[in-house]
Amino acid sequence: DGGITQSPKYLFRKEGQNVTLSCEQNLNHDAMYWYRQDPGQGLRLIYYSQIVNDFQKGDIAEGYSVSREKKESFPLTVTSAQKNPTAFYLCASSEQGIYGYTFGSGTRLTVV
């Protein structure tokens, strides 16, 4: 079955450390996205990528970085510059010409 796999499901990080969240899709979708979810605030767009080797900042890109070296993969790095990284992170993808996203099951990051 096609879908999006995010790993790990839970991640703990010490302050000052960088951490990378994995997102892999086998849907053959061109576009991929990272959102952050905080309680009561909905979802906010961090980065998105329309195609391999190209990506754009979203609304809250500061303290995050991404890469898109393969169509299937869009990892997100949460750097030590991100002041409040504890959140639920969601990866999504979309197919050209079809409106709407397919979401992964998310990674919950906690800074300890």
Partner 1 sequence: GNSVTQMEGPVTLSEEAFLTINCTYTATGYPSLFWYVQYPGEGLQLLLKATKADDKGSNKGFEATYRKETTSFHLEKGSVQVSDSAVYFCALSGEPIQGAQKLVFGQGTRLTINP
**Where on the chain is the footprint of partner 1 (CB under 8 A)?**
4, 6, 30-31, 33, 35, 40-43, 45, 48-51, 56, 58, 90, 92, 94, 96, 99-106
Smaller CB separation from partner 1, 80 or 95: 95
Cβ-based neighbours of 53, under 8 Å, separated by 6 or more: 68, 69
**Closest distance between partner 1 and the C-beta of residue 85, in Å?**
19
* Closer of 9 and 14 to partner 1 (Cβ): 9
- Minimum Å gap between C-beta 79 and partner 1 is 23
Question: HSE (CB half, 13 Å, CA atoms) of 24?
Answer: 5
Question: DSSP E strands: which ranges in 26-101?
Answer: 31-37, 43-51, 54-57, 64-66, 76-78, 87-94
Residue 80 CB, nearest approach to partner 1 (Å):
26
